Amino acid sequence: MQSTSSDIVRTRLKHWFTPILDEVGWRSHLVDAQAEQLLRWGLAQVEQTAVHTQRLPDEDANPLLEKDSTAVHLIMAGVNDLIGTIGQPPAFDLVDDTMTRLLKNLRWLTNQPLRPDNLRRVSQFNHARELEDRESAFQHLRELIQTDAG
C-alpha cells in the first residue's frame, strides 16, 4: 500500500517536530500564551518543509527536514533566551550575541537575506527589553522571525 501525501507529511512532521517539543529549552522563560504562539510558528515552519518534500524519497527529504527543524529549534531557543534576559543585567554582550545567532538561524532557515525591517524589529525588542515589557519584547521577536510559513 502506498502512503498518501498527507500521510507522508504527517509522518515527517511528527518525526522532525516531536524532538523540539521534548526539549524544554525553547520555553523556560515564556508564559504559556507565548509558548503556544512560538510552538505554532515552529510547527508551521517544519510543516512547510514536510509539504515541500512530500514527493521526495526519505533519503533526499531528511537532510532538508533536519536542517530546517534544527534551525527552527535554535530560533525558538533563541527567542526564549532573549526573553530570559529581560530584567537581568546583561553579562558580556549576551543579548547581542543571542540576537546575532537568532538572525543567522533565521537566514539559514529561510535561505534568504534578512528582511529590511529586521533592524527596526531588533531596536523595538531592545527598547521593550529596557522597559522590562516582556509581552512587547516577545511580540517584537515574533514579528522578527515571521516567515511566509507562519
In sequence order, what E strands does 1-150 have?
A: none
Q: What is the reported pLDDT for 90?
A: 67
Mean pLDDT over each residue of the chain, to the nearest integer: 92
Residue 89 has pLDDT above 70, yes or no: yes
| Between 148 and 126, the higher pLDDT residue | 126
In sequence order, what E strands does 7-141 have?
A: none
* Amino acid symbol at 16: W
* Other beta carbons within 10 Å of 149: 19
Give the whole-angstrom CA distance, residue 40 versus residue 97. 25
Strand, coil or helix: what is 128?
Answer: helix
Each residue of 8-47: pLDDT tens digit? 999 999 999 999 988 888 999 999 999 999 999 999 999 9
- The structural domains of the chain, with segments of one domain joined by +, span 5-144
Residue 1 has pLDDT above 50, yes or no: no
